[in-house]
Amino acid sequence: MTPNDENQEERNKHNHLSQLASVGQIAAGIAHEVRNPLTAVKGFLQLLQNEDKPEYIEIAQSELDNALTTLNNLLQVSKPDLEDEEEQPIHMAVELESVLNLFQDRLYDVELITDIQDSETVVFGKKNQFKKAFFNLLKNAFESIEGKGKIWVSHFAAEKEVIVSIQDTGVGIPKEKLAILGTPFFTTKHHGTGMGLTQVFTVVYQHGGNISVESKENEGTKFTLTIPKKLMTNPRGVKRLELEFEKDFTMIEFFKRNSKIFEDRLLDQAINVRDKIDEILAIGNIDLINNAQKLVILVIEEREHELITFAKQEGKAWAKYSLTIAFKLEWVQAIRRTLWDFLYNFTVQSDNEHNLEDFFTLEKKINELMDQFLNHFFISYSKFKDEVLLAQRELVENLSVPIIPITPSISILPLIGEMDEYRIKTIEEKVLEEISELHIQTIIMDLSGVGYMELEVMQHLIKIIDGISLMGCKTVLTGIRPEIVKNVVKSGISLEKKATAKGTLQLALRDYLGLKKE
């Protein structure tokens, strides 16, 4: 029986009680396991006051470490049941031993005999749930022993499962009670909650395992847990899909055969991108679906070199059409998740033993390659964006200083729009450069497109004119607006000495090109 058989109201009650039990367990554990090292630390600190011995610090530190480890183990065991705890690879042997450490204080009268084999074996599941189960079983075993006794703990791996057993020389369980073990609230103890075994049965069943109990009154009890190694549940919430599979399929064949389903799942996941697919195709001629398929193939076949080239191309295209980077991220993450689902299904369907190691190695490789893709994508994206920005700026700057040669020695510079410090600086550089390059002898600056100029900008312009004349070139100013003239007069700058002023560009052209008056 599991809590799943119960109605909701009762289930809530269980959770509540099991949390209460955990608090009690923590308190008891802390009292023993953390107080001792802390007392030791206190002692060494006192010693340090009198004697300056570095080794005291070391001892104190390692005692503190012990206390912290114990606290961590206690906390993990007593965490409330998280239904959504992530599944992960578990070294059962390691977890079992870490839980055993919590019972140090009982080892004066109980002899603990451990037989841990195949400790490198991995099981897939909810780690904290298993730790808690081991804790509950061991706690019962210790509690069953009055006075002196023995507890045997063993772990070993069979072909398809891990077998953990916990045996005690305790009071035993009456035959008629064996059948109701695991029933919530069944307890024979004064302060028992009857929740411990419920948790144990639940977690083992949830992972597709089995529990057997052998017990004899006044002799002892043996619990044996059989936990399958294979992928019973989903790693990281990957999804079991209905996919076509044939014996001896390679991953790539598997993917190609099911590419339509891949596409559908991808679109399911990338909610924001989904609506933009057509738009992106229209704007940049980027076929997201096709590209996703291509990416997956490159990843599966580990064609790293082509993957990088592809990432660079994509980054550039994305930058070129100013597509939002957030879409790309969502898209690539959706591809990654869908690929996991596929990989998981492939591993489950292709390998009778559901080889976990294979799954994790492949998953790791896929992750690395996807990361590489993203890295190169971003580098190329920002590089191209920078280039575009730079080019645009140069273009704008050039446009803002259009020097038009009208004869080999005369050029016109029509200035239009707002003049600010930044722009006047650009003009300065550009004009001086062009004068020396084109051997301009007369430059006609037409200001009829400039409505207003700050005094500082005006002063800067005068400096430019000074520079121009130092280069042996003459400046003709045309089309100065009355507002600007007023400003010039007010400021006392004398323009006339530095440049020739003409009312309009036409007038200047007529004079300098010898054009006839119409």
Binding mask 126-145 for Mg ion (x = CB under 5 A): --------------x-----
Cα–chain-centroid distance for residue 163? 36
347 binds ligand ADP (CB under 6 A): no
182 binds Mg ion (CB under 5 A): no
3 binds ligand ADP (CB under 6 A): no
Residue indicated by tokens 């600056």 = 445
Binding mask 118-137 for ligand ADP (x = CB under 6 A): ------------------x-
Given the complex with ligand ADP, which of 17 and 94 has the nearer CB atom? 17
Nearest to residue 79, comparing CAs of 19, 138, 160, 37? Answer: 19
The tokens for 55 are 């080794």
Distance CA 303, CA 178 (A): 59
**Residue 238 exposed, middle or buried by CB count within 10 Å (0-12, 13-18, 19+):** buried
Nearest to residue 400, comparing CAs of 460, 438, 449? Answer: 449
* Contact region with ligand ADP (CB under 6 A), list: 73-81, 194-202, 415-423, 434-442: 194-202
184 binds Mg ion (CB under 5 A): no
Out of 141, 261, 440, 476, the residue judged to bind ligand ADP by CB under 6 A: 141
151 binds ligand ADP (CB under 6 A): no
Other CB atoms closer than 10 Å to residue 143's CB: what's the count? 15
Given the complex with ligand ADP, which of 172 and 479 has the nearer CB atom? 172
The tokens for 84 are 């959504």
Put the strands of the sheet holding 149-157 in their side by side order. 110-116, 149-157, 161-168, 220-228, 210-216
145 binds ligand ADP (CB under 6 A): no
Burial annotation 454-468 (CB, 10 A radius, 16+ → b, else e) = eeebbebbbebbeeb
According to CB under 5 A, which residues from 263 to 292 bind Mg ion? none
Distance CA 308, CA 295 (A): 10
Which of the choices Mg ion, ligand ADP, none does residue 314 contact, using the CB cut-off of 5 to 8 A by kind? none
Distance CA 192, CA 276 (A): 60
Which of the choices ligand ADP, Mg ion, none does residue 99 contact, using the CB cut-off of 5 to 8 A by kind? none
499 binds ligand ADP (CB under 6 A): no
Given the complex with Mg ion, which of 142 and 344 has the nearer CB atom? 142
Q: Which residues contact 323 (CB under 8 A, 6 or more apart)?
A: 280, 283, 284, 286
The helix-helix angle for 127-144 and 196-206 (nearest 10°) equals 140
* Contact region with ligand ADP (CB under 6 A), list: 11-19, 89-97, 191-199, 292-300: 191-199
- The least CB distance from residue 90 to ligand ADP, in Å, is 22
170 binds ligand ADP (CB under 6 A): yes
Out of 19, 36, 187, 409, the residue judged to bind ligand ADP by CB under 6 A: 187
The tokens for 419 are 């003049």
Out of 140, 269, 442, 475, the residue judged to bind ligand ADP by CB under 6 A: 140
224 binds ligand ADP (CB under 6 A): no
Binding site residues, ligand ADP, CB under 6 A: 136, 140-141, 144, 168, 170-173, 181, 186-189, 192-198, 221
